[in-house]
Amino acid sequence: MRTLTIPLYVLLLCLPLFIFGQTHVWTGNGGDTNWFNPPNWDVNTVPNASSNVLIPSNFTVNITTGSAAVGVMVIESNAVLELNNSLTISNEIEILQGGYFLYSLGTLSGNATITNHGTFEITGISQKIINQLVINNENLLLITETGIINVRENMILNNAPGATIISNGTGGALSTNTTGATFNNFGIFKKVDIGQFGNFYLLLHTNNYGLLSVEKSQNLLILGIQNSINNFENGVLQGEGAFDITAPFSNVGTIRPDGAQAVELDFVNTFTLSPQSIIELDFFGNVPDEYDKLEVIDNPYIEGNIEITLHYDAAIDDMYTIITASHGITGCDLPPSIFATYQNLIYEFEVTCTSNEVILKLINKEPVLQIEEYENLNITAIPNPTYDIFEIQFGSIVSEVELTVSNVLGQTLSKHTVQNTDSYQTTIDGAAGTYFITAKTGTGKTATFKVIKK
């Protein structure tokens, strides 16, 4: 949408009849901020559903005394539109960088699009209804102490990569009819710590490709069989609050307790893992408040992969209860061992599943193999971690390279020689764990790098 900004501005000023109808540029000459005061517009009439509207920089416009309509509207940088009634959009509203749209009351509707490059704030506990609209958040969407926002008629909210939605109050978004509504998150959604317990209801179809974060003492509720939550491969559910889920839940992404240091993340009602899912944990020590953990108020099937980041030199026989399930664990399909590194050591943890806990125990630690600089090459493995086939990329074409695959004990598992290529596809024959690949050129230069097999 950014590429439309300049052409739209030109059309509004120079071709007023091209898009819909008459162009209305706010002047404020009426002496107040009232949308419905004709002298505030350059053409001395109030915009209607076919109008092209421009709110220039440094002006504030208020829709309060009645319901408004617009065809196309641009809110410039440092301009503010305050909606305290209802607004029907025929085509599009674009909020430019630095522009502000404050929505406090009424119905916001239309078979149209709102694209936000500035700030779009939804606030106040008065009833709000959003019908049909597609809202594309490209920057910042604030939800502050809203009560319930009724979203209807296939309304869609897209949170773009790099964009942020912040909920810093209580309330939620509720799909209130059979057509439902959808939230596609590619950026960041945060239920932030408000200093006391707080709920936010996300009662719609939620597709997470980015980050859903629930901070301390906060609760994100995704409820109802008519709704859903899908945490995709790049999606992350994180925090130190709680996800309360009764909607159908699929998860091939990442679960991550996250806070000031070691924290507990809670899942209430439904907790779903898959063989592809990842649980990421930080260990700062081996007493309960020194490492991350999950508390599940459910009877889950535990599977997938566990990735540990060590922040201290753990001792042999250190133990960590990383998952507890209040209603018992129905089954467990985790690797028998997982590995982590700290400084120049690699640590092996034994994985044990009981009837209601998952426990890790440190059983071995060994020095990491020496890593040397590889002359003129930038070696990477993609994907890493890997489930099966992965590709070693050399960064440039090499005449000849010998590749040696070894385990954490330094035992050689296989060797491959490749010639006149910039990449090589291979697999690792062995159980899930950490492996090392050493690349050696014909001149004797070597480099060793780590590959995680899930």
Query: In terms of domains, do 417 and 324 share one?
Result: no
Chain centroid, CA 290 distance in Å: 26
The pLDDT > 70 percentage for the chain reads 91
Last residue of a domain, one of 339, 366, 393: 366
How does pLDDT run across 184-233, given as a tens digit for each residue? 999 999 999 998 999 999 999 999 999 999 999 999 999 999 999 999 99
Query: In terms of domains, do 158 and 10 share one?
Result: yes
Query: In terms of domains, do 73 and 208 share one?
Result: yes
How does pLDDT run across 239-275, given as a tens digit for each residue? 999 999 999 999 999 999 998 899 999 999 999 999 9
Confidence band for 66, pLDDT divided at 50, 70 and 90: very high
Query: In terms of domains, do 29 and 84 share one?
Result: yes
Whole-number pLDDT of residue 378: 65
CATH code at 433?
2.60.40.3080
Whole-number pLDDT of residue 239: 97
Query: In terms of domains, do 278 and 376 share one?
Result: no
| Beta bridge partner(s), residue 237 | 212, 255
pLDDT for residue 130 is more than 60: yes
pTM higher than 0.85 for the full model?
Answer: no
Query: In terms of domains, do 362 and 398 share one?
Result: no
pLDDT for residue 82 is more than 60: yes
Query: In terms of domains, do 349 and 213 share one?
Result: yes
Query: In terms of domains, do 31 and 106 share one?
Result: yes
Distance CA 134, CA 8 (A): 19
pLDDT for residue 282 is more than 90: yes
Query: In terms of domains, do 9 and 78 share one?
Result: yes
Q: Report the number of distinct structural domains present in the chain.
A: 2
Distance CA 201, CA 422 (A): 50
pLDDT for residue 372 is more than 50: no
Whole-number pLDDT of residue 102: 98
Confidence band for 30, pLDDT divided at 50, 70 and 90: very high
pLDDT for residue 21 is more than 80: no
Last residue of a domain, one of 366, 387, 416: 366
Query: In terms of domains, do 325 and 449 share one?
Result: no
Last residue of a domain, one of 320, 346, 366: 366
pLDDT for residue 23 is more than 70: yes
Whole-number pLDDT of residue 419: 87
Domain of residue 419 covers 372-453
Query: In terms of domains, do 93 and 168 share one?
Result: yes
Distance CA 146, CA 20 (A): 34
The 3 state secondary structure assigned to the chain is CHHHHHHHHHHHHHCCCCCCCCEEEECCCCCCCECCCHHHECCCCCCCCCCEEEECCCCEEEECCCCEEEEEEEECCCCEEEECCCEEEEEEEEECCCCEEEECCEEEECCCEEEECCEEEEECCCCEEEECCEEEECCEEEEECCEEEEEECCEEEEECCCCEEEECCCEEEEECCCCCEEEEECCEEEECCCCCCEEEEEECEEEECCEEEECCCEEEEECCCCCEEEECCCCEEEECCEEEECCCEEECCEEEECCCCCCEEEEEECCCCCCCCEEEEEECCCCHHHECEEEEECCCEEECEEEEEECCCCCCCCEEEEEEECCCCCEEECCCEEEEEECCEEEEEEEEECCCEEEEEEEEEEECCCCCCCCCCCCEEECCCECCCEEEEEEEEEEEEEEEEEECCCCEEEEEEEEEEEEEEECCCCCCEEEEEEEEECCCCEEEEEEEEC
Query: In terms of domains, do 16 and 144 share one?
Result: yes
- Give the type of residue at 295: E
How does pLDDT run across 100-128, given as a tens digit for each residue? 999 999 999 999 999 999 999 999 988 89
Whole-number pLDDT of residue 5: 42
Contact 319, 298 (CB under 8 A): no
